[in-house]
Amino acid sequence: MMQSIIATIDVVLLTIQDDRLCVVLSKRDKEPYANLDALPGGYIHAEEDRDSLDAAVRILQQKTSLIPPYLEQLRTFAGASRDPRGWSISVVYFALVNNDLIISSQQPGLTICPVDELRRLPFDHNEIIETAVDRIRNKSQYSSLPCYLAGETFTLPRLQKIYEACLGEGLNKVSFRRKMDELGVLEEIPGQTESGGAHRPAQVYGLKSEFKNQLKLLERGL
């Protein structure tokens, strides 16, 4: 008798906490690995989900109560040994969200853990997270991707710390500001500054409107 293949979605939800790149884990409520922290995930519902993106949005809402400003398909992980229940395939997404939104969601069972302090997780979730971290570190070298971790408004010093957390290394202030000017994704928020302590107040910025809610496809799942 042929065994059915398990088809699931997993989401690597990344955020910045205490200037460190972190991943959001969700406590499993079913076997296998009940009560252990793992990536938010779930089965694909063929009768409900129009595609894997729909499934990812639905599962994120159910497990975290969040709709992230950025969601991207990462990779498909498949094999006979990744799940004790049998041969399985998981379409994996990675999402970026500001830490304040995670805290305000007050969803029980969520844990925020620095990506460089992860213990052994169920299934192949450590490998999946490593793949997502490699993706964001690569893209952070040339794109505006880390901006989606910063929230609605932010200062350039704050944004530089986010880039540094994503890259895992420090950045030159002048070079960083030149890079952001070249990307052309930011706009000043008129009349808004933040106190810089001993330094002069820092200008507050936000993403230009054309770069907000980048994945319009998310609207289909709302």
pLDDT over 60 (residue 169): yes
The residue that leads in pLDDT, 120 or 200, is: 120
Alpha helices in 33-152 (DSSP H): 52-64, 99-105, 125-139
Contacts of 185 (CB under 8 A, 6+ apart): 144, 147, 207, 208, 211
pLDDT over 90 (residue 51): yes
Helix axes 156-167, 125-139, angle to 10 degrees: 130
CA distances from 151 to 5, 19, 146 (A): 39, 14, 10
**The pLDDT of residue 220:** 38
CB-based contact 194:154 (threshold 8 Å): no
Residue 118 is given by DSSP the state: -
* Residues pairing with 9 in the sheet: 42, 91
CB-based contact 111:103 (threshold 8 Å): no
**The pLDDT of residue 105:** 74
Own/partner pairs for 84-88, CB < 8 Å, 24+ apart? 84/32, 85/6, 85/32, 86/3, 86/4, 86/5, 86/6, 87/3, 87/5, 87/6, 88/5, 88/6, 88/7, 88/8
Instruction: Say how many residues make up the chain.
Output: 222
Average model confidence (pLDDT) for the chain? 91
Which residue in 100, 104, 109 sits closest to 40, CA to CA?
A: 109
**The pLDDT of residue 4:** 87
Q: Using one digit for the tens of pLDDT, what is the confidence trace for 129-150?
A: 999 999 999 999 999 999 999 9
**C-alpha to C-alpha distance for 137 and 182, rounded to whole angstroms:** 19
What is the three-class DSSP state of 26?
strand
pLDDT over 90 (residue 200): no
Tell me the domains of the chain and their CATH numbers: 8-139 (3.90.79.10), 145-211 (1.10.10.10)
pLDDT over 70 (residue 222): no
pLDDT over 50 (residue 221): no
